Amino acid sequence: MSSQLDALRDHTTVVADTGDFEAMKALRPTDATTNPSLILKAVQQDAYRPLLEKTAREHRGASTPELMDRLLVAFGRAILDIVPGRVSTEVDARLSFDTRATIERARGLIALYEAAGIPRERVLIKIASTWEGIQAARALQSEGIRCNLTLLFSLPQAVACADAHVQLISPFVGRIYDWYKKSAGASWVEADNAGARDPGVQSVTGIYRYYKHFGISTEIMGASFRNVGQILALSGCDLLTISPDLLNKLAATEGDAPAQLRATDTGGDIARIGAGEVTFRTLLNEDAMATEKLSEGIRLFVADAIKLDALIDAQRG
């Protein structure tokens, strides 16, 4: 019998969620995603510190933001030597509320990739799913720069992303699960909130059915998993980005991973949601979980970006 990972590949594109490109060689993902936290973790390891040292040495006169982007692209290039598909590279989270600066930073990342001989079709620019980030993605997509809208926790965010014609969205399963579990406190019963009943799984399922119902072509990539059960409950989703630890668990377990989501399952009668700014901000504000997790996610990525800045500056001496 094949492993659950091999069975999952029959229904879903498997993506590695890591900056550890050595781990990818054995796991054979199609695509890979990174973020500031993953890159920060990687460059503190002996195996990857030379990438930081080389980047700082070869571009001594560059600003810290430019060195950060060059480091991200160095990781992306190494990843693309391993995976056959795409790599996601994230715009600095400190720009999450600045549309113009996000556009300029994204253009710069793509220029670095193209200067290295990497076609833009193999790169997804990750941007936080704020209103400003989504509008930046709208402009970038019109230029042929494909975007991955991350830190997505709600259907209104997904609808606005679809209206902007973004290439891909990354709804966060595990962080939604975390919020509801913490909110429930002692009343939380794990068995009652597992599999298809997991609140994070339910959120992605709702987005998937909405997209399929209205014929939306934006790809959906479930992200931020806490356990194998969440992954198996979303088998059939367009893509799933999974940490090496959970990929290894799937690879080590024999069994099936039958599709739980199907493009033909459009969810029956679904009401269309408006994609304008007022509707977006109103509905997001009414969703305490999505509002809190979006803000928290940006703060965490900013904190790690600042730490990465410090490592870069220390390397330059």
Determine contact, residues 179/295, Cβ cutoff 8 Å.
Answer: no
Residues 6+ apart with CB under 8 A from 119: 113
DSSP strand E in the chain: where? 13-17, 31-33, 87-90, 123-128, 147-152, 168-171, 219-222, 239-242
- The 3-state DSSP class for residue 252 equals coil
- Three-state DSSP state, 118: coil
Task: Name the active-site residue from 25, 41, 54, 126.
Answer: 126
Place of tokens 């890979």: 32
Helix (H) or strand (E) holding 54: helix 49-58
Scan for tokens 């989270």, then name that residue. 93
CA distances from 267 to 52, 107, 213 (A): 48, 38, 7
Q: What gap in Å lies between CA 52 and CA 66, rounded to an integer?
A: 13
| Coil/strand/helix, residue 313 | helix
Nearest 5°: the CA angle 223, 224, 226 is: 130
Other beta carbons less than 10 A from residue 276's beta carbon: 10
Tokens (6 digits) for 167: 């290439």
126 is a catalytic site residue = yes
CA distance readout (Å), 199 to 50, 88, 167, 195? 41, 26, 25, 9
Give the residue numbers annotated as catalytic, written as ranges: 126
